[in-house]
Every structure is written in structure tokens, then in C-alpha cells.
A = this chain, B = another copy of it.
Amino acid sequence: MATKVTPISGFQEWLPADRIAELIVLDTIREVFELHGFASINTRAMETVDRLSGQGEDADKEIYGVRRLAADDTSETTLGLHFDMTVPFARYVLENAGKLTFPFRRYQIQPAWRGERPQRGRYREFIQADIDIIDIGALPDHYEAELLLVVADVFSRLPVGDYRIHVNDRKICEGFYRGLGIEDVTGTLRIVDKLDKIGADGVRKLLLEAGCSDEQADQCLALAEISTADTGFVQEVRALGVSHELLDEGLAKLSAIVEVANEHAPGVVVADLRIARGLDYYTGTVYETMLERDPGYGSVCSGGRYDALATDGKRTFPGVGISIGVSRLLGLLISEEGLTASRETPAAVLVAVNDEDSRGDSMRVASALRARGIPTLVAPKAAKFGKQIQFADRRGIPFVWFTGADGHQVKDLRSGDQVAADAASWTPPEADLHPSLVLPTSGE
């Protein structure tokens, strides 16, 4: 057994208090997903490489292949770790189509893996929390607005600060490009998607290299610069003088989404015509979510509509999905900003032990408290009470319970108050029962 531990970069592992903060965030996300009627599924970590590959420019080279170390021939199916939840979900739908009830709404909260260079907000292993709605043949448009409202509900319960969900419809870009006479829509989208990274001049240069005229390049950039919190974007696009029926369709759809979002969750959505998303499977609406205090951190919640990701040749299962990048979000909130939990253990009470012979008495007190839902620990050693209190204090356990011939007492370590208590009835204040999120104090 190796005794030296070499940390591996790109993997997010938390100490216990921070892990509790992560769990509170994950539980909140799950709770909201379930409130909105999404059913959980869990897919295996591995897909065939065949299914994973070909989803976008950079995706292939980031796939982790998986192979038994002892594999003695090359005939085994080539497997890889999934890099998102959408591709596995589409496969799950195809595999189980006959047994699912459509439209099928599912959430999926799992790790995914990408072998990319670790950097701020990007990890090689990361948790994503996805919701998708998938149907057979046709998918009602209103789901594309609904997903935004679910995200708004999640974020209203998390300490994420101000944020905006930026929405676009690829049909707008495609119709606009086609209206301009550009034929390589995907290539153009990919170039425009680099706007944040390389700026307008860089994009312009790449567009010209790709064969655009000066005017086409200028128009593509002009479209990408349109961003409005209401449906004003329609008029701004019209003013550019390009027309195509796909463009009309896209503008109508995006307008409807912005209107519904602004009615049910005012101030959350921005129509932003530069949003493209790298993955090739998106065909309509695309989403990205930026935190207002740090837009450069990248999107913490992204997704879109895909019409052809899942097809068995006869039937097509169009879907729309959005994914909260939990690890990225927590990289900012926990690692950088210091969000944590109020204690490093679920235990609300430590039962002290008078001597090893009476450990059984302390265990019975703990059982009685646990039976009423109070997380409880028994002290590891019958040490001096001062030591046992220190054990609780170090972990943030708020209460210490003393058994004794004169009756039981419970001490609140914060106030120092110690009162008589009965394990059959005593209950800690609701706020102390479970650990809670602790926001970093500004100015500390």
C-alpha cells in the first residue's frame, strides 16, 4: 500500500463541513425538482464510446475511456465515462421507450467526467443536476419556458446572489445566417461562440477566414450583440434587415419564452443572441446562466432543446433540458467565497460517558434521542468531562448530555446553560436539529 498521497488536480473533494454545505445545496435542488414533478433516474457512469463521440468540437478528446486493467483481448465493448447527463438520458429513453410514460420528465443528479485541463470553475469530475422533458414525435413549446422557472425556483432558495439566464434560439442564428447567404451554420455558430474568449476582432477574423464577406461578418457580430431583458430584441433584429422563415420562427419562439418568464419570474431572463452552446445536439432554444458579480466565471446552468438526439430510426424523441453545474457553482461559493455549514457533523447532541462500565446507559440515551429524529453521538472515551465537552465543541455539536444518578442534564455549549432533561421528551430548537448553510461574513 502506497503511503505517499499525491493529490490529483481537477477533482473537487470537500472537508466534512463543506461537504455538508454541498449536501444542503444538492438536497435543495432535488427538492425543487421534485416539487416540479420531475422523477429521478440514475444512469450508469459508462456509455459506449460510439454513443459519446461526435457531439461537438472538443468533446471527443475529453472523453475518458474505461477498460479493465486485466482485459486480455481487444474484443470488449469500448466504454467511456459520460461527460454530461443528456447523452446518457437519450440512450436511457431509447432503451426503455416502451416502458416510459411520455412526455417524460426526469431529473438526474450525478457526477460526469471530462479529461480537460483543470482551471477555475472547470473540473475533471463534476456534479451536474439536470432536468429534461422528452416526448415522442413533438414537444410542446411551453416546456422551454417552464425549465427556466424551475431554475429560478432553485436559485431563489440558494445563496447564489444576482444572476441572469441568457436565452437564445439557434433558429434565430441559423435563419439569420441563411438569410445572409452563409451556408456553414454550425461552423459559424462555433466561431461566434468564441466571442467571450477572443473578442469581436478575433471572431471577425475567423469569420473572414471561414469565407464570410465583410458585410456577413459585421452582420453576424451585430446579431450577437443584441441582448434585451424584454421582447425588444425582435425589433433590433428586424432592423438589421435580414429575413428568413427560420428567423421568424426563432424570434416568435424566443419572444414567447421571454414573455412567460417575465410574467412568472420577473428579472431572471435575458434574450441574448450571442448564446450558442458548444454541443452540437441543440436545435432550438439554448440557455446559459451567469452570476452578475462574476460573468467571466462562465455559465453555472446551461442547456437547450434537442430534436434529434434520441431516435430509434422510426420514432424521434425531442427534448429540452437544463443542467445546473453544481461543482462549478460550489467552486465559487464554497472554495472561493467561503460558504460552509454550521457544523462538521450531523450530530446535534453528544452524550457524555461517565465510565466505560456505564457506556450502555449513554447508548440508551442516544437511542432514545435518535428514535425521535435527533442526530446523536456517544463520547468515544470516558474522559474527563472537560475533554468530552471539547470533543463536542471542536465539531460544532451544540449540546452535551450528562447522565447521572441525580437525573440527566443537557448543556448548551454556546450559552453554557445546563438544564434537567428527559431523553424521552427533550428536543433541541428546530434551528439546531440539522446543520445549516453559513454565509461568509463580509469584511472578515
Q: Is the CB of A70 within 8 A of B60?
A: yes
Q: Does A64 count as interface, using CB distance less than 8 angstroms?
A: yes
CB distance from A162 to the nearest CB of B (A): 21
Chain A interface bracket (under 10, 10 to 19, 20 to 34, 35 or more): 35 or more
CA distance A39 to B260 in the complex (A): 42
Please give the count of copies of this chain that the complex contains.
2
From B61, B71, B363, B381, A140 is in contact (CB under 8 Å) with: B381
Known contacts: A15-B100, A367-B264, A375-B37. The answer to whether A64 contacts B68 by CB under 8 A is yes
**B142 A359 Cβ-Cβ under 8 A:** yes
A-B contact pairs, 13 of them (CB 8 A): A1-B281, A8-B79, A14-B42, A16-B41, A19-B42, A39-B345, A45-B45, A64-B69, A65-B66, A65-B69, A260-B360, A263-B360, A264-B364
Q: In whole Å, how far is A148's beta carbon from the nearest beta carbon of chain B?
A: 12
Q: Beyond A65-B67, A70-B60, is A370–B16 a contact (Cβ under 8 Å)?
A: no
A235 to B344, CA, bound (A): 45
Query: Could you tell me the distance between the alpha carbons of A54 and B66 in the complex, rounded to whole angstroms?
Result: 20
B36-A370 in contact (CB<8A): yes
A241 within 8 A of B: no
Give 1 or 0 for each of A1-42: 1 = CB within 8 Å of chain B CB: 111111110011111100110110000000000111111111
A145 to chain B, nearest CB (A): 9
Asked whether, in the complex, the Cβ of B360 is within 8 Å of the Cβ of A264, the reply is: yes
Residue of B nearest to A345 (CB): B39
* A125 interface residue (CB < 8 Å to B): yes
CB contacts (< 8 Å) of A64 on chain B: these are 66-69
Asked if A395 is at the interface (CB within 8 A of a chain B CB), the reply is: yes
Q: Select the stretch in A173-181, A306-314, A402-410, A423-431 that faces chain B.
A: A306-314
User: Taking the complex as formed, is A120 at the interface, i.e. its CB lies under 8 A from any CB of chain B?
Assistant: no
In contact, B23 and A40 (Cβ under 8 angstroms): yes
User: Given the complex of chains A and B, what is the CA–CA distance between A79 and B11 in angstroms?
Assistant: 13
Residues of A294-321 whose CB lies within 8 A of B: 308-309, 311-313
- What separation, in Å, do the CA atoms of A31 and B313 have in the docked complex? 45
Q: Does B115 lie within 8 Å of A153, measured CB to CB?
A: no
Contact B60 A69, beta carbon cutoff 8 Å: yes
A106 at the interface (CB under 8 A from B): yes
* A264 touches which of B16, B51, B260, B363 (Cβ 8 Å): B363
- With contacts A39-B345, A376-B37 taken as known, whether A125 is within 8 angstroms of B50 at the C-beta atoms is no
| A63:B67 contact, CB within 8 angstroms | no
